[in-house]
Structure 1
Amino acid sequence: MSLSHINADGNPAMVDVGAKAVTRRTARARSVVELGDAIMQHLVGSDIQTKKGPVFQTAIIAGTMAAKRTDELIPLCHSLGLDNCQLTITTEGSAAIVECLVSTEGKTGVEMEALVGASVAALTIYDMCKAMSHHITIRETLLVEKTGGKRDFKRD
């Protein structure tokens, strides 16, 4: 298997997607943030209120902004106009579950946009809650599923 971002000379290169067909592309990524009981006791309704503001609402905005700027953060990503970016944050026990669903009509996938959106939302939760505890762990960030392109993917 060859790496898609390495050219024939062994140098980094952006993938040429010029000949690819425009198709509907979607991706969903998840980050799990273990907050612990000390932070979760501040959960009121569906959000954690802090002096900095509502944690999950702020994280949703940050994740959306980051997904739209993925090409500025990941060196060889293409610039994409996203048709949709939806972040949701739910709680399960003492963890916050961040999901980022991204879609576009394009020649290349949106996996990185979904992963960046979920990651930055998770980091925002960390930042806004760290005054309450430093025992926060971002357990995982992973691609859950993608459609469009050569092949679809869905994690079991």
Structure 2
Amino acid sequence: MPEKSTTLTHLNSSGEAHMVDVSGKAETSRTARARGSVRMKLETLEMILSGNAKKGDVLATARIAGIMAAKRTHELIPLCHPLGLTKITVDISENRDLPGLDVEVLTKVTGQTGVEMEALTAASITCLTIYDMAKAADKAMEITDIRLIEKTGGKSGDYLAAEEKSAS
């Protein structure tokens, strides 16, 4: 496993923020998976799943918003590199135990830097869009547990969240 650096890479020698130069890095295949959830009343979940939300198709709109967010991460998060993403999937599934919706995003690129921020941004915006489209019915919804689940590729190696390791 590669040794972890304790140096903050987004600061120059004077402590000023700058975008990291990745031009010397090899292009490798990189992926990231992120998750998040939206907890809501059971009635709100049923309204969304039945397609009866006043604002329209919540799931389709949230999925598109997540994809768009991944593609625009570099415009939203300072110092992120613009990436030519080769794959973005946004999966939304019902979770009766919450009750609510679980979101999982997969991003992929062949490039010189990772796609974790793109996956996390997409998961966040997908959850926010679900909230926005259903807030008239349930202002008490909660967006929870946005986190990186897995990353592959790059110099720092692979990462798999502890919850995923125990599930396999």
- 1:35 aligns with 40
Q: CA RMSD in A?
A: 1.1
Give me the TM-score of the superposition, normalised by structure 2. 0.88
Q: 1:70 to 1:41 in 2, by over 3 A?
A: same
**Which one has the bigger helix percentage?**
2
User: What's the counterpart of residue 3 of structure 2?
Assistant: none
Partner of 1:52: 55
Measured in 2, the distance between the counterparts of 1:117 and 1:43 equals 20
Residue 31 of structure 2: aligned partner: 26
Amino acid at match of 1:72: E
8 A contact 2:35–2:120 mirrored in 1: yes
Q: How far apart are 1:49 and its partner, in Å?
A: 3.0
Structure 1 alignment gaps of length 5 or more = none
Counterpart CA distance in 1 for 2:8 and 2:150 is: 21
Instruction: Return the TM-score normalized by structure 1.
Output: 0.95
| Structure 2 gap segments, 5+ residues each | 1-5, 163-168
C-alpha distance in structure 2 between counterparts of 1:92 and 1:14, whole Å: 39
Give deviations 1:92-112, integer Å, cap 9, x for gaps.
Answer: 111210111000100000000
**Could you say which residue in structure 2 is the equivalent of 1:62?**
65
Using the TM superposition, give the Cα deviation of residue 3 of structure 1 relative to its aligned residue in structure 2, in angstroms.
1.1
More strand by share: 1
Amino acid at match of 2:88: C
- Runs of 4+ in structure 1 off by over 2 angstroms are none
Give the equivalent residue in structure 2 for 1:8: 13
Q: How many percent identity over aligned positions? A: 49
Q: How does 1:126-145 map to 2 (within 5 A)?
A: 126-145=131-150
